[in-house]
Amino acid sequence: VASLRREIICFEYVENSLGVLTPSTKEISFTYLPKGAEIISMDAFNKSETVDDFVIGITIIKNSTDLHALETFLNIYSGWEETKDFNMEIISQNCLNNIELKYIPYHLTHTYLTVWLEGDLVSKEVVFLLSGSDCKIHIYQENKVNHTYKEIEIAEYFPEFVKPPTIVVWMDIYYYNKYTKRLTAFGCECGYIRLCSICVKTSAILYNFSTNFNNTISTVRIYPTEHKLKTPDFINDEYKVVTEDVEHEDPMLNLII
């Protein structure tokens, strides 16, 4: 969690010698956050499904006292190598990218970018999504060869984000039915809300609903009525509940605004 004026606090539970989890907090010093810069938004994800390989994104504004000389950046931090040991200090000192933006950043989040080929899911990677003062959603994808992130065209992968009427303040994306479908919602500064259902295989918009609340939308959240999840493998056999893995079947979804 970050304050506007550069202070970033990490909250975590640490296991002690007795195996008890105890909460702890500590301030983390990130590189490439110059004095006087303001932190606008932050996001983090683990790009590996097996070990710790965390990526952290931070958007900042420099020279904020002069409106005509604003400099805005997206800083992306990573530990480079997949590891079983999570070390925030190493990540915070390793800025992979210091991307200069041509707009003021707003909401920074992440989602999956999937590629289907002849009915098979051939790739599923995590990408950053960033809304800006230019009334656009920008997508940043990792170049796995040199471990840098670059902006790619969003219309091909996320047609629901094309031409929002004003600045997007918040967005949420929910994949389901084994990543063949997704529900996307976003809210704008003007009060506009859009809710779309997408066929991920073809990038076709199956359902498109919009309305206007005539006031700034602060957040939107998509969530299922119930979670049906597979019992984690580390649970002892005597405590396991026999259930089928139906996490991605068509759920009853809700949107809160």
Helices (H), ranges, 35-87: none
Tell me the C-alpha distance between 72 and 93, whole Å.
Answer: 20
Residue 77: exposed, middle, or buried by beta-carbon count in 10 A (0-12, 13-18, 19+)? buried
What digits encode the pLDDT tens for the residues 204-227?
Answer: 999 999 999 989 999 999 999 987
Residue 70: exposed, middle, or buried by beta-carbon count in 10 A (0-12, 13-18, 19+)? middle
What digits encode the pLDDT tens for the residues 91-107?
Answer: 999 999 999 999 999 99
Q: What is the pLDDT of residue 87?
A: 84
Q: What is the pLDDT of residue 144?
A: 85
Neighbours of 256 (CB within 10 A): 10
Is the separation of the CB atoms in 107 and 168 below 8 Å? Answer: yes
Mean pLDDT (the chain) is 90
What digits encode the pLDDT tens for the residues 230-257?
Answer: 777 777 777 776 655 555 567 899 999 9
Q: What is the pLDDT of residue 226?
A: 86
Strands 8-15 vs 192-199: parallel, antiparallel or unpaired: unpaired
Q: What is the pLDDT of residue 119?
A: 84
Is the separation of the CB atoms in 189 and 166 below 8 Å? Answer: yes
Confidence of residue 46 (pLDDT cuts 50, 70, 90): very high
Q: What is the pLDDT of residue 242?
A: 64
H or E element in which residue 91 lies? helix 88-92
Residue 190: closest CA among 221, 167, 160? 167
Please give the average per-residue pLDDT across 194-204, as a whole number. Answer: 95
Neighbours of 50 (CB within 10 A): 8
Token pair, residue 1, equals 């969690």
Tell me the C-alpha distance between 111 and 160, whole Å.
Answer: 14
What digits encode the pLDDT tens for the residues 3-43?
Answer: 888 789 999 888 888 888 899 999 999 999 988 889 999 99
Q: pLDDT over 70 for what percent of the chain? A: 93
Tokens 């005509």 found at: 68
Tell me the C-alpha distance between 57 and 40, whole Å.
Answer: 11
Q: What is the pLDDT of residue 67?
A: 67
Check pLDDT > 90 for residue 193: yes
Q: What is the pLDDT of residue 146?
A: 86
Check pLDDT > 70 for residue 156: yes
Tell me the C-alpha distance between 83 and 48, whole Å.
Answer: 10
Check pLDDT > 70 for residue 64: no
Q: What is the pLDDT of residue 233?
A: 75
Q: What is the pLDDT of residue 243?
A: 59
Residue 220: exposed, middle, or buried by beta-carbon count in 10 A (0-12, 13-18, 19+)? buried
Strand ranges (E), the chain: 8-15, 21-28, 38-46, 54-62, 71-78, 95-101, 105-117, 120-132, 137-143, 148-152, 168-176, 181-188, 192-199, 204-212, 221-224, 253-256
Task: Round to the nearest angstrom and report the end-to-end CA distance of the chain.
Answer: 23
Q: What is the pLDDT of residue 205?
A: 95
Model confidence, pTM: 0.88
